[in-house]
Amino acid sequence: MAILVTGGAGYIGSVTVELLVQRGERVIVLDNLGRGHRAALPEGVPFYRGEAGDRDLVARIAREHDLEACIHFAALAYVGESVEQPLRYYVNNSAQAMMLIESLLEAGVRQFVFSSTCAVYGEPETVPIPEDHPRRPANPYGWSKYFVEQVLESCDRAHGLRFVALRYFNAAGATDRCGEDHDPETHLIPNVLAVALGKLPFLPIFGHDYPTHDGTAVRDYIHVSDLADAHLRALVWLRQGGHSLFLNLGNGKGYSVLEVVRTAREVTGREIPTRWEARRPGDPSHLVADARRARRILGWEPRHPELASIIETAWRWRLAHPDGYPKDPAR
Ligand SMILES: NC(=O)c1ccc[n+]([C@@H]2O[C@H](COP(=O)([O-])OP(=O)(O)OC[C@H]3O[C@@H](n4cnc5c(N)ncnc54)[C@H](O)[C@@H]3O)[C@@H](O)[C@H]2O)c1
């Protein structure tokens, strides 16, 4: 049986596809290549270019392959963009996810792993943030994911859809083959490394007056391979008949923007000039995971808990791919 991976040509999706293939799973990728790269996929993986919410296409994929489960990465994932273009986010992330789930249920697929996010929590009341923390998203991106979580719960009750909703904190790092290559890039570590490489003149730091130890925003960085491993474990959990779950994925340790810059200077040996900018709307001050539930239930243990080792893997990939992936002529 096969696993449908939507958004499998994207950053976290491609690393997960790589791991699934290594473990002998049959993988089918569906991606519109809006933000993904055909070159990020291993040779021989069946690829469909299209929308996750295209009912006819998903029905065709289900007819052509014996689908067991779906891992749904496909989404737009920029907080700032979601504040400016909320409808684009609700249509792409929420409405398309609903159509995908409907098509899967019609095809008899009842195991679903969902890329959720710590953005469902909004500005936290307690840090580290446990899964039962109130969900009060601070931006349309977080709401677009929270709606899907609600849909999944309803479909579990009504249709027996079993799901694992993985609320990732900040994905970072790379494997030897796959890394982070977005255009535009809004994530901190790839931008820090672009400055280190001389591709950007300086790093803008958004906000110096957050209520954190040095005034810059604090995030929990989790290695992309550790995220991929959690997806594999979630699949096994569902395969073994496990019930639906919401799980945080993070290292449980926060680093400020200034700490990331300092560590990147040490790892790269480069200067990395910075410039202060105003806060970005919708950015909470402090996001750190309490991920004990994922460790307990899935037996998940991050292999790259240290920021320096996460940045080292991203830097290695950047040096090997200074211009990112080869551009797909079809994009
Ligand atoms: N990167 C992070 O730190 C982070 C944190 C929390 C959650 N997430 C979630 O993880 C998932 C993957 O994130 P990423 O960083 O790899 O992003 P990405 O942009 O690299 O990957 C997303 C992929 O989905 C594809 N896509 C988007 N909308 C689609 C649609 N409607 N139909 C088909 N394909 C579509 C894109 O082309 C891209 O290849 C997203 O759902 C994101 O919201 C990411």
**Tens-binned pLDDT, residue by residue, of the chain (331 aa):** 999 999 999 999 999 999 999 999 999 999 999 999 999 999 999 999 999 999 999 999 999 999 999 999 999 999 989 999 999 999 999 999 999 999 999 999 999 999 999 999 998 999 999 999 999 999 999 999 999 999 999 999 999 999 999 999 999 999 999 999 998 898 999 999 999 999 999 999 999 999 999 999 999 999 999 999 999 999 999 999 999 999 999 999 999 999 999 999 999 999 999 999 999 887 889 999 999 999 999 999 999 999 999 999 999 999 999 999 988 655 5
Whole-number Å distance, alpha carbon 76 to ligand 1 midpoint, is 6
Residue 211 forms part of a structural domain: no
Residue 124 forms part of a structural domain: yes
Residue 261 forms part of a structural domain: no
Residue 273 forms part of a structural domain: no
CA dihedral 202, 207, 211, 217 (to 10 degrees): -50
Whole-number Å distance, alpha carbon 33 to ligand 1 midpoint, is 10
Which residues line the pocket of ligand 1, CB cutoff 6 A? Answer: 6-7, 9-13, 31-36, 51-52, 73-77, 92, 96, 115, 117, 168, 170-171, 182
Ligand 1 atom index nearest CA of 170: 3
Pocket test for ligand 1, best of 5, 30, 32, 255 (most atoms within 8 A of CB): 32
Residue 137 forms part of a structural domain: yes
Residue 130 forms part of a structural domain: yes
* pLDDT for position 280: 86
Which residue range(s) make up the domain with 128? 2-171+223-250
Biggest CA–CA distance in the chain, Å, is 56
Work out how many domains the chain is built from and give that number. 1
- On the 0-12 / 13-18 / 19+ scale of CB atoms within 10 A, 287 is buried
Known active-site residue 255? no
Omega prior to 322 cis, within 30 of 0:
no
Residue 200 forms part of a structural domain: no
Q: The domain spanning residue 56 has which CATH number?
A: 3.40.50.720
| Residue nearest atom 42 in ligand 1 by C-alpha distance | 77
Pocket test for ligand 1, best of 17, 28, 31, 112 (most atoms within 8 A of CB): 31
Pocket test for ligand 1, best of 115, 143, 183, 331 (most atoms within 8 A of CB): 115
Residue 96 forms part of a structural domain: yes
Q: Which of 48, 78, 121, 141 is catalytic?
A: 141
CA dihedral 17, 20, 26, 31 (to 10 degrees): -20
Ligand 1 atom index nearest CA of 118: 6
* pLDDT for position 25: 97
* pLDDT for position 284: 85
Whole-number Å distance, alpha carbon 8 to ligand 1 midpoint, is 8
